[in-house]
Homo-oligomer: A and B are copies of this chain.
């Protein structure tokens, strides 16, 4: 009878609540249904519900208070790239458009790469994609992503327009970002970056190199980001 049921219950509840919070079903500062109510509604026991809520706390979607309840926190709408929680919902949807400059394609790893690769990562190729993100029709965000091509069926044929790369990895492949490291600096835009981000050559841009660890052994995501901070800032909580 149970067949497609590979995803743990607490994770399904996590996804459900997360979706509801992001979509605005719960007011910021309001209370989630109590643990016992969630038990009844979703037909689980309290430890399972609490497991889901703990993940939501960890990702900054709720704050718990003993005797009170779970308070909806609604993580920053804008670019939460600096915090682990925000990475998937990096940009608030209403004002954001994502343009795929380079659809995901399988390539060998670059000769000169900013980070050291594990053997398993080297053996498999990498999936490469470039995106440009717009806020209010202004380009603010140019990112280059390298993802090891380890068991990601149909990945290159998926559509990423207005969808979070991390959301797809998490919901379709059960790959979750567990942490990472990053380097930041301010750079002068060269002609390519300048034209992509619609700023003058020589103007300052925020440059970020990131390596994101996931729950899958030897599976790291590598991103290079150029950010136009003329009218926007990168926001992060920790």
Contact = CB atoms under 8 A, between A and B. Distances in A.
Interface in A183-198: 183-188
A173 interface: no
Max count, chain B CB within 10 A of own CB: residue among A47, A58, A183: A183
A234 interface: yes
Interface in A50-68: 54, 58, 60, 65
Contacts of A21: none
B60 A234 contact: no
Interface stretch (A4-12, A27-35, A94-102, A174-182): A174-182
A106 interface: no
A181 B237 contact: yes
B238 A83 contact: yes
A86 B196 CA distance: 34
A233 interface: yes
